[in-house]
Amino acid sequence: MADAALGIVIAVGNQKGGVGKTTNSVNIAAALGQGGYRCLVIDLDPAAGATRHLGVPENSFAGTLELLTTDETIAGLAIFERMPSGVQLIASRPQLSELDALLSKFTDRTRLLDRPIADARRHFDFVFLDTAPFAAATTTVAAYAVADWILLSAFPHPLSLGGLTEAFKDVADVRRHRNPRLEVLGVVFTNVDSRATRLRTELERVVSASLPGRRFETSISQAVLLAELSGRGKTLFQLPRFAEIKIAQQYLRLAAEIEHRVRQRTRFLEGTLPPFGESAVSTPHPPEVPVVTAAPSPILGA
């Protein structure tokens, strides 16, 4: 029998549009998939960015809409063919924008994802909820109401500051009203231009001040390759020699940082987790024996 799934649910947010949410969702899932984890991406955006980025043509599959409006199960809807290793997808399509009209007026919209996510937790180690760029969207609210973590994404641009401040406020509101368990996993700085160090330092300072301990050591550089791959419907990890590509190495390291945090949630939230750079990363589905401290990360390789 397969090992018990970790069942960790991560909403990928920052409701400002075009800040790398989808690119991060699919590439982090694929990086974790490389480490042997079972990952599910649920595309909650009618714009279907994750669906297209994973190479699935819009309107070709049933998916999120059926998951939320019928008794269909995750197993019945998940796409696994031609996906990155270890990754499955619940696809979206533009008709998801009609979700509100299709739901019964007696449905509790904020709890819409509870049943499918309880199902997904039993079968997957990581479930990524790629949200639409609207905080008030039914799917975004339901994602925040059910997730264990929120992973924020930001481009180091002066306008990001406002977006991040708003995102922090949304998280505080969700915790107060809906889901006290929701925690910020971290803020991923992506599309980072190595020359714009002053701006990046300033944004990192804001994150450290608002959310101590929640910035990542790894950031993702600006890379035209990412935009190109999204057009081709591929993640970095479906390229033959991805291990040699700098941006893929960054995503692997970021995935290992995420693994380090979520697998030691209590210590991370207490602030007693050693910095990632000084830690060994555990193996997926660890055996009953203690993990050797110097074990290579399954994600980062030897």
Ligand X SMILES: Nc1ncnc2c1ncn2[C@@H]1O[C@H](COP(=O)(O)OP(=O)(O)OP(=O)(O)O)[C@@H](O)[C@H]1O
Q: Which residues bind Mg ion (CB under 5 A)?
A: 21-22, 49
By CB under 6 A, residue 21 contacts ligand X: yes
Shortest distance, CB of residue 18 to Mg ion, whole angstroms? 8
Residues whose CB is less than 8 angstroms from the CB of residue 19 and which lie 6 or more positions away in sequence, other chains included: 153, 154, 155, 160, 163, 190
Partner whose binding site includes residue 55, from Mg ion, ligand X, none (CB under 5 to 8 Å by kind): none
Under a CB-based contact definition with an 8 Å cutoff, are residues 39 and 88 in contact? yes
* 234 scored as a contact of ligand X (CB under 6 A): no
Binding mask 184-203 for ligand X (x = CB under 6 A): ------xx------------
Which of Mg ion, ligand X, none has residue 97 at its interface (CB below 5 to 8 Å by kind)? Answer: none
Q: Residue 48 is encoded by which pair of tokens?
A: 């279907």
**Residue 201, token pair as written in the block:** 């330092």
DSSP for 193-237, written as a single string: -TT-HHHHHHHHHHHHHHSTT-B-S---B--HHHHHHHHHT--GG
Instruction: Report if residue 223 touches ligand X, rule: CB under 6 A.
Output: yes
Both structure tokens of 10:
């991560």
The residue among 50 and 299 lying less far from Mg ion, judged by its C-beta, is 50
CA 230 to chain centre: 16
Nearer residue to Mg ion within complex by CB, 22 or 238: 22
Residues 27-66, mask of contacts with ligand X (x by CB under 6 A): ------------------x-x-x-----------------
**DSSP per-residue string spanning 115-140:** HHHHHHHHH-SEEEEE--S-TTSHHH
Q: How many CB atoms lie within 10 A of CB 81?
A: 8
Q: Which residue has the tokens 């994600």?
A: 299
What residues numbered 96-155 form the site for ligand X, per CB under 6 A? 133
* Most distant CA atoms of the chain, gap in Å: 55
Q: Nearer Cβ to Mg ion, position 6 or 28?
A: 28
Give the residue with the Cβ less far from Mg ion, 6 or 147. Answer: 147
Q: Which residues bind ligand X (CB under 6 A)?
A: 17-23, 45, 47, 49, 133, 190-191, 220, 222-223, 226-227, 230
